Amino acid sequence: MRATAVLLALAALVVAPARADVIEQVVATVNDEAIFLSDLRRQAVPFLPRVMSAPTQEERMTGLRALYQEILTKLIDQELIEQAAREMQVRVTSRDVDRAVLNVIRQNGLSEEEFWEAVRGQGFTQAQYRADVQKQLLRLKVLNQRVRGRVNITEADVRRRYEQRLRQANRSVRFRTSHLYLSLPEGASATDVRSVREEAEEIREELTAENFADMIREYGGGELGWLSQGDLPEDLEQELLTLEDQEISDPVQGERGFHIFFLHERERGGSDLPEFDAVKEQLYQQMMERAMVRQEETFLRELRRDAIITRKEL
């Protein structure tokens, strides 16, 4: 009973019914334009189930306050965008909203009736959803006018990104290798290290692909099987990266001895990377989206810096 009462109390904070004697509460102002508690409550409705699922009242209240603060920041940014739109004389028509909603319905493969039923299931009326779409479109138009000109991504930029990915893919290598191993004595001195190194170098002179397995049986070592990058210490791995198939390495000092590697074969992870022409448009769009996000953040910081913003304690 107590848990139910707490949940109902939380819900009342967000969706309390309007009464004739309730005066609308201002929770923030942006250049003297007010943001009201009712706006905050309405935006919070779809997220209430997550907040109310917390196990204790304290966690639920903490989650609710954090949700309110997050939504209030978004509402402040939206008001800044709307003020910038008025200054720039940017508008969104009802026809723009109709087209955007129709695109969303088609992308989801739903009938209009099914779509609006889903919207109501998320706690929005049709009018509220259309209003939110209008705000999103307005934001896009403002950003395209004020931010798009700051982003210049050339085909050379896209090619460099592709080549970077190609290098990363080619470094994703698997090795099938064996090693001949000469261990160092416990607490080896510099003289011990030099002696074992010289022995390893003498053995290396005799090694071939044909006798490598026999020499392992004589001196020590074994088949390491398939290794991925990162399985070996970096200094040992770098030696393997320089080898061609069926090639034998020079002696390499490890933590406790000297290794001589025989690379049987390798598999390159980048072999299935598509050609540049096949992916350049996709890469361009990804780079553009990331650049626009960064520029949007910069633009909003500029708007906040030049605005007079007050936030009320929630």
- Asked whether the CA dihedral 28, 30, 34, 38 is positive or negative, the reply is negative
Give the largest Cα separation in the chain, rounded: 98
Tens-place pLDDT, residues 2-19: 333 333 333 334 444 444
Fold of 168-271: Chitinase A; domain 3 (3.10.50)
Axis crossing angle, helix 112-121 with helix 126-146, rounded to the nearest 10: 90
Report if pTM > 0.85: no
Query: At residue 5, what is the residue type?
Result: A
Q: What does the DSSP assignment read for 248-261?
A: EPPPEE-SSEEEEE
Q: Which among 179, 145, 109 has a CA at the least distance from the CA of 295?
A: 145
Segment 39-79, tens digit of pLDDT: 899 888 888 888 888 899 999 999 999 999 999 999 999 99
- Residue 174, token pair as written in the block: 């698997």
pLDDT in tens, 281-296: 999 999 998 898 889 8
Question: Which residue stretches of the chain have pLDDT < 70?
Answer: 1-23, 167-173, 268-273
pLDDT at 190: 85
Give me the half-sphere count of Cα atoms (radius 13 Å) on the Cβ side of residue 160. Answer: 6
Percent helix, strand and coil across the chain, each rounded to 5? 60, 15, 25
